[in-house]
Structure 1
């Protein structure tokens, strides 16, 4: 957890064909919490810059669930070999990336369909976000408030009118 909260670290989130969605979900939350963190989502096969730059200052949050993807495991292995810390979110059967991961967070994926469920992995991502938020405390609250204000200001064309705000037309 401390690695994800460290502003000196870059956070890279990536996953496989379906689990990339989870990486992107985490990617939407993290930039609003730890200051100075760069979150990017490299796609295996289109990540030459990432492969060159990854190193000791990086924490890779890797999502890999059964029907494990060789390119995701290989990218995680490469990052590990370059000195990056690996946080792996996987299923109870464990991705091959568990062999070299620094932290392994398994989640249940069984479902009554031919496809695995992402309900528990989404809950795990949300729990991770909540833990980062709690660990960063008031600094995270201030950063989130500033980020939201900036987004609202930009999307309103410089005006943040709404119910209870000056200038709201009824």
Structure 2
């Protein structure tokens, strides 16, 4: 088999030359369009990266400010409530909850000046709070009891767990 002699006919020569020139021109147009689109995409990515970096810096500044504000606010906490609990009332046969409630309220009334005070200052004076409670003698059902602090928790709500001792 042999190749047909198209290279001798000028019409075929023009066709192949046109196809070759058209292929080169279309390749050049493709490269130009692809380059322009890639350049646009690259500039868009650079702008987005710059925006992301700026936002990350802003976020870090906001987070630092937020942490500082939280620290300042935690320093400014105040006492909102006082909760008392007498745990060993059953040992002394104090069965009526009214007597226990009245004893708790009597101690709460002594601690009422602590409400709306700064948590830090109350904590610094915790020994005074303990002495105020422990020097209290309660009269329940015609018997006298001393109060001992078993546990005390300081936060916006002061929680105090108390024990009674017979004061004979």
Q: State TM-score, norm by structure 1.
A: 0.22
Please tell me whether Structure 1 or Structure 2 has the larger radius of gyration of its CA atoms.
2
Specify which structure has the higher proportion of helix. Answer: 2
Q: State TM-score, norm by structure 2.
A: 0.22
